[in-house]
Chain A
Amino acid sequence: MNSKFELPQVSAKPSDLIQGISLKAVGQPLKRKEDLRLITGQGRFTDDFSLPNQTWAWMVRSPYPHARILRIDKHSALALPGVLGVFTGTDCSADGLKAIDHSPVPSTKYDVKLRGPGDTPVFVGRHVLLPTDKARFVGEAVAMVVAQTREQARLAAEAVSVEYEELPWVADTEQAAAPDAPRVWDDLPTNVLVDATFGNQEATAKAFQEAAHVVNMKTRINRVTGVPLEPRAALGNYDPSTQSFTLYAGSGGAVRQKRELAQVLGVDAEKVRVLSFDVGGNFGTRNRAFVEFGLVMWASKKLGVPVKFRAERTESFLSDYQGRDLITEVSLAMDAHGKFLAMKAHNLSNVGYCCVSLSPLSKGSGLISGSYDIPYAVLRSRAVYSNTMATQAFRSSGRPEVIFAIERLIDKAAHQTGMDRIELRRKNLIKPSQMPYTNPVGSTYDSGEYEINMDRALAIADWSGIEDRRAQAKLRGKLLGVGMANYVESSIGSPKERADVIVHEKHIEVIIGTQPAGQGHETSFAQVTADLLEVSFDQVFITLGDTDIVTAGGGTHSGRSLRHASTVIALAAIDLKAKARQILAHHLKAPLESIDFIHGKFVHHSSHTQLSWFELFQVAQTADLPAELQGGLKIRRDNEMHTPVFPNGTCLCEIEIDPQTGGIEIKNYVAVDDVGRCINPLIVHGQTHGGIAHGVGQALWEQCLTEPDSGQPLIGSLMDYAMPRFDNLPSFKAEIAEVLSPTNPFGIKAGGEGGTTPALAVIASAVEDALLPLCGPVEIPMPITPVKIWTALQKAQKN
């Protein structure tokens, strides 16, 4: 079976694979198949599952940012009613449980190659289920209690007595990178685990020397957390008769977690079954296994009963994987006419206490020059440990940060030189004739019409009417501001995907290894399949999430799913049609060439035979077929695709600030997004809206803050963590541009993360524009809350 995506001829293009396919379902705003169960309360979220005799786990968590674990006294807890066990890191160790191997260093062909200081391998830290040596962040689980009821487990957890020796700690990103900072891992001389430099030092230096203008900026991108509304949960069960484990746990990829957790438990992967059905939001937060997933399975084996865990929202705030937290220093060199000559960037990413994924740093690194033609660049990418919860990918992993940097840098360049911010961008946008374009850090953008998108967005946003609206707002006592930002982002993702396409009696099933948490895969994949096989959309069903059925797959992240799924399904469709023709040919004792597939039917002209897929299914059941055609009308196809794609677009945001309170209202938000081919516009628009909300949330309200004197997280609940809500977001004007990508048969880029990517920049840009007359150009650190706006205005008034 071919596993590489091999084209039949040298000159063939990926799109040839769908040549002749009539697109009926693809491109339509079809209602989602997944909705019926979700709107009738029949969703299958992890906590909805229960097993007979199940017990409950509750975690004992460190109250200190950094502390040696001296002793854990289980006695009082064990004496409480209903308690079945108290487990510590020592117990895990004794049973030979291993650390979770997250494979955090991105290693697909096109990922930027991150290395440790002095070009050493990156030290990733050991993500054990429960530590034996130290607790490294406030909220790290140091013990687990299992009891008959959740309430009993909770009370017993309070009775577990842990003796700590407090250690010096560091939470702040820059402080953590200092050579003398308290060390999170003794294995490293400092907390810096990644220090790699890319680009062309010599040419960049020369360009900066010769530049007419140099613009510098340093920004701190705030840390946020995903807040998927479904708190993480896990139900583990061990079956001694088969010596195998079952785990119900919402995730970003059941196959991956099965593999990883099997390794932790020291068993073959076949001995672990992961069931991840409906997932209440992911956004990256669930892309990596949590310790509780391994712990409940292990505890189930030890106790002989199923063990269930559900996090409190407070626990989620403490110990969900968090996102962003980047310090970026950037410089842009321009000639006298505003042409960009070179850029320099130094990015410092705070990975938290343990390295779970370097995706944000890596993906961001590949896009520092954004949508612009910048010939030379030097980028230094660093990552640092700190006594905080681990960070990993969060909606558009790494790209909002770097797009913020380049777009705000350009805004600053405009102020500094007096050039118009739109014209400065227009002059430097990569042109379609330059595609595919390799940027100065080696990313090759596949396709795009950047200037056309920008102009379209400007028109929709009524850019020409701004000054009128600004004057009107002023009459009402408000400061109006408009922000704009271009973006390009990348979709790489795990390169392998597998599809099983199976014809049943009355429907077609596709089994695939992506893991949606709301992105509508059951619908969009069915649309693609229906057109490829020329059946009705209503006849196709997608199966996901049970690793006993889904044997392989890359999960869902980085906007990879539709691109990989549609490609492997397209390949499977070709193989399946070939097999189907062979079956019919054999059955009719006719030459293969005489069997055609026309308008969804297998046709043998001379015998006037016309069979649908389902009629052929019947034939396949009963016909006398050679071995290789037996087993039903189905096919398995693997594919491996490394080439990234680059969704891109422009957004504009108009806000009004109340200068007396600092309050902000978003009046208008326009987005034009090139997603490549759009399979379902209803779904893509929904992704854009949700993505915008994540970005705006971070720009205006969300932050994971640590108290500087104590190292205690200041965010413990929704009382502290401000969220996008109905009443602080506008309705959006989102438009789709379809510039087909040449890299895959359907020309898909991705639509899941483009809403977020420019949002940080566009909000900051709008705020600066609003405050410009009173404050001059100003950079307010995100989240840009009313108190910060007011304080900036006060400061300007005093000066």
Chain B
Amino acid sequence: MAIIHLQVNKQVVTKDVPDQTLLIELLRETLGLTGTHTGCDTTQCGCCVVLVDGVSVKSCTVLAVGVQGCQVTTVEGLADGTNLHPIQTAFMEHHALQCGFCTPGMMMSALDLIQRHPQPLTPEVVRSEMEGNLCRCTGYHNIVKAIVSASEKMHAANPASLAP
């Protein structure tokens, strides 16, 4: 067992959990943040993606104790009160979700891409870089549109904060 300290959605978290606890288990079971989902057991579906220090990782394949001292951002940390994050707005506007199960992980992956991938984000780049996220409902068409749209808006609004 270890006492781990980290930040989740800007809140300090101190928990005593067994060492083998995966980050997703910490999030869902210990912290009750059920927005991040388990979809497979081979690290291939992307439903569990969160940001660790701003970088997208599959939380099913990371130990909680392995991200000690890090900042973890989950889907619950995207909106600012009732103000939706541009990625959330874009997903809603472009009907980029149907059942919604893959959506949290999808948005976190997309955010990582928008914030850290060299611009511009074309549909081809989106399709290539999002390979690690599966969706079974949408056929991806609208998700690509949503990500490109969010990227354009976020870059236009605040170019300095994003990757060159």
Contacts and interface: CB of A to CB of B under 8 A. Distances in A.
A–B direct touch in complex (beta carbons closer than 8 A)? yes
Interface stretch (A319-327, A723-731, A766-774): A723-731
Nearest to A696: B139
29 contacts: A34-B100, A35-B97, A39-B75, A39-B100, A40-B76, A40-B78, A40-B79, A42-B35, A43-B34, A43-B100, A45-B101, A47-B37, A229-B102, A278-B101, A280-B37, A280-B102, A281-B136, A682-B95, A686-B137, A686-B142, A689-B140, A692-B139, A717-B42, A718-B40, A723-B134, A726-B126, A726-B128, A726-B140, A729-B140
Given A518-B100, A689-B139, A39 B84 contact: yes
A686 B131 contact: no
A734 to B, nearest CB: 8
B99 interface: yes
Contact of A719 (B42, B100, B102, B144): B42
B93 interface: yes
B75 A41 contact: yes
Contacts of A24: none
A718 B97 contact: no
A472 interface: no
B137 A690 contact: yes
Contacts of A127: none
Interface string B88-115: 1001110101111111100100000000
B110 to A, nearest CB: 11
Nearest to B33: A41
Contacts of B144: 726, 731
A686 B35 contact: no
Interface string A358-397: 0000000000000000000000000000000000000000
Nearest to B131: A727
Given A35-B100, A39-B84, A725-B140, 6 more contacts: A38-B100, A39-B97, A47-B34, A229-B99, A686-B98, A724-B139
B128 A313 contact: no
A628 interface: no
A366 B134 CA distance: 34
Interface string A26-59: 0000011011101111110101100000000000
Nearest to B129: A726
A501 interface: no
Interface of A: 31-32, 34-36, 38-43, 45, 47-48, 226-231, 278-283, 310, 312-314, 517-520, 682-683, 685-687, 689-693, 717-719, 723-727, 729, 731-732, 755
Given A39-B100, A718-B45, A518 B78 contact: no
Interface residues of B, number: 52
Contacts of B100: 34-35, 38-39, 43, 278, 280, 518
A755 B138 CA distance: 11
Given A35-B92, A726-B126, A228 B141 contact: no
A719 B74 CA distance: 26
A280 B101 contact: yes
Most chain B Cβ neighbours within 10 Å, of A282, A690, A717: A690
B128 to A, nearest CB: 6
B47 interface: yes
Contacts of B78: 40
A229 B47 contact: yes
A229 B95 contact: no
A524 to B, nearest CB: 12
B68 interface: no
A40 B35 contact: yes
Nearest to A39: B88
B36 interface: yes
A683 B94 CA distance: 10
B38 interface: yes
A248 B123 CA distance: 39
Contacts of B107: 39
B133 A726 contact: yes
B39 interface: yes
A229 B76 contact: no
Nearest to A280: B101
Contacts of A228: 99, 101, 136
A663 B7 CA distance: 45
Q: Is the interface of A mostly helix, strand, loop or mixed?
A: loop
Contacts of A45: 34, 37, 101
Nearest to A310: B38
A725 B134 CA distance: 6
B135 A229 contact: yes
Given A229-B135, A280-B99, A283-B136, A48 B34 contact: yes
Contacts of A725: 131, 134, 140
A47 B130 CA distance: 25
Most chain B Cβ neighbours within 10 Å, of A45, A278, A686: A686
B134 A39 contact: no
B91 A313 contact: no
Given A313-B41, A719-B42, A41 B36 contact: yes
Contacts of A283: 136
B127 interface: yes
B95 A683 contact: yes
B13 to A, nearest CB: 16
B139 A313 contact: no
Nearest to B18: A151
A279 B45 CA distance: 17
B49 to A, nearest CB: 13
Given A281-B136, A717-B42, A729-B140, A40 B75 contact: yes
A727 B99 contact: no
A538 to B, nearest CB: 15
B11 interface: no
A231 B38 contact: yes
Contacts of A723: 134, 136
B44 interface: yes
B88 A40 contact: yes
A519 B38 CA distance: 22
Contacts of B140: 689, 693, 724-726, 729
Most chain B Cβ neighbours within 10 Å, of A35, A42, A227, A278: A35
B97 A717 contact: no
Contacts of A226: 136
Contacts of B142: 685-686, 689
A529 B135 CA distance: 30
A721 to B, nearest CB: 10
B34 A520 contact: no
B16 to A, nearest CB: 16
B136 A32 contact: no
A690 B98 contact: yes
Contacts of A279: 99
Contact of A313 (B28, B34, B39, B79): B39
Given A313-B42, A719-B42, A726-B127, A230 B37 contact: yes
A31 B34 CA distance: 24
A232 to B, nearest CB: 12
A228 B37 CA distance: 13
Contacts of A229: 37, 39, 45, 47, 99, 101-102, 134-136
Given A39-B103, A41-B33, A231 B97 contact: no
Nearest to A29: B95
Contacts of B95: 31-32, 682-683, 685-686
Most chain A Cβ neighbours within 10 Å, of B36, B101, B103: B101
B9 to A, nearest CB: 10
A116 to B, nearest CB: 35
Most chain A Cβ neighbours within 10 Å, of B35, B47, B79: B35
A517 B41 contact: no
B136 A690 contact: yes
A278 B40 contact: no
B36 to A, nearest CB: 7
Nearest to A40: B79
Contacts of B39: 229-231, 280, 313
Task: Rank and list the top 4 A-B pairs by shortest CB-CB distance, nearest first.
Answer: A41-B35, A38-B100, A518-B98, A280-B101
Contacts of B79: 40
Contacts of A726: 126-128, 130-131, 133, 140, 143-144
